[in-house]
Amino acid sequence: MEFACSIAPRLAGAPSIHIRFAQPSRAAWRVKQHTSQVRTFRVSSAFLREAPGGAPAKLRGQRKVFDSVDEAVADIKSGSILLSAGFGLCGTADTIIGAIARRGPESLHSLTAVSNNAGTAIGGGLSPLIANGQVNRAICSFLGANKALEKKYLNGEIAIELTPQGTLAEKLRCGGAGIPAFFTPTGVNTFIQSGQIPVRFKNGEVVEAGKPRETRIFDGRVHNMETAIKGDVAVLRAYKVDEAGNCQFRYTTKSFAPLMAKAAKVSIVEAEHIVKTGELKSDEIDLPGVFIDRIVQATAEKIIEIKKLRSNDDPEAGDQDAAIVRRNRIAKRAAKELKPGFYVNLGIGMPTLAPSFLPPDNHVWIQSENGILGMGPYPTEEEVDADIINAGKETVTLVPGASTFDSSESFGMIRGGHIDVSMLGALQVGANGDLANYMIPGKVFKGMGGAMDLVSNPDATKIVVLTDHVDKNGRSKIVQNCTLPLTGARVVSTIITDLCVFEVDRKKGELTLTELAPDVEVEDVKKNTGAKFHIAENLGRME
């Protein structure tokens, strides 16, 4: 039986694909299982390399501890889906990744790498594999300042599937739990839903577009359908691992590690300490050994991506430049949104300054999307711990009563409406509450990270934007309608800038000016705002 199906001309330039199905003879069933599963596709363009993919052998009953990391990765196949744990450089399996890199692109290539971020600007993580050309596709949520990866993407050397961080975590969780798909409010009315984020370029042209999402309405809201991610091999790092494969993680190293291990056919863990079975008490085990197949000794040193130390100086004391004064003004006003006992998520950048302006007796529980509830201030030199970082990859501390957990738990708190306030930065905010903060087409391509998830339940979690009123070119960030790709539609309730405070009526799509900064008048706001707004009868002043 033979048939042809039409596909888009941009797909490798082929007008059709021919697939031949033949009834096998009885003799054909006697060949080895792996050869009987080979599928042959004829296309009009030839592939440069063959990359069959598939998982290494999974053998029960054998010793899980490998004496050599090179031996542990020796049978990973080209074309495999590689799940790499870690958040930034926290919890990355650098010993194992180094061994994979040593195999080189001739031995191991065409990998699809799934990770929160595919390497960093300073190396580490997946960076060696990206640099080697061993990865031709990355599924991630954040590129950040990784200009080398951004260049490879724009030059067509690598395909990138941008996925919101919480969605990525849930896709992995479902992959490991045998759930093929799920519906989520994250990414609705954005380029994620419409599939408008290009996956691959060639000669400046888009040759692979994103995939539009199927949608359904639940409880009166539109939801996107997302499919699960399952991998051939997972690589992760743990603090202690016993010989049965039971794992114990430290703090934020667990953000993606359990999820990756569960979603893979074969999981390889590098352990800082390998101990005898039984040495880990049952209530100390974060990941049961059923999910681990191979164990190696971790030898790579931990890398701290951003070492941020605590300053004991008064944030408003001394001579400061205009930018710091503006940021402090915004952060000080934002602190008033944080009421005693609130559970609050703070985005990277300006939102992290808000707790500095809280009174000592105003206890607020700060959540970090990479798996902390009860985040404390930046550490002193003596308190620095590479395993405790925030969403901006900066070193932080934990307050008494803090807890740590994986990313699916973290974003479940957010999407489920258990967080009272979420504060984010912005590139643009619309008069109707639309938010754009992750991409400027042709200029900025950082990825959305967790931002789309953070604004996915605005009726339960108040979304507060902290931003300069105008950008570096003097253009207003407060606009009637956003022209940049949206992070979320009709999600923002309050906008705090260096000039004023706006309250947003998300249903009516209207702004109301409620407070003015010191030495700022209404005319100053009108002159610098690209949107219409009402003026509150009792117009107040920001302190």
> Which residues are catalytically annotated?
369
Measure the CA–CA gap between 54 and 79, rounded to whole angstroms: 7
Task: Give the residue from 138, 140, 165, 166 showing the smallest Cα distance to 152.
Answer: 138
Query: How many Cβ atoms sit within 10 Å of the Cβ of residue 323?
Result: 10
Alpha-carbon torsion angle 458, 535, 353, 407, nearest 10: 10
Listed in sequence order, the residues at least 6 apart from 456 whose beta carbon sits closer than 8 Å to its beta carbon are 166, 184, 185, 186, 414, 415, 488
Q: How far apart are CA 353 and CA 360, in angstroms?
A: 15
Percentages helix, strand, coil for the chain (3-state, rounded to 5) are 20, 30, 50
- Among the residues of 112-255, which ranges form H helices? 127-132, 147-154, 165-177, 191-194
d(CA 197, CA 193): 10
Residue with tokens 């711990």: 385
Q: What is the DSSP letter of 243?
A: T
Q: How many CA atoms lie within 13 A of 401 on its CB side?
A: 6
- Residue appearing with tokens 């010191």: 518
Tokens 């960093």 correspond to 120
If you ran DSSP here, which 8-state letter would residue 351 be given?
Answer: G
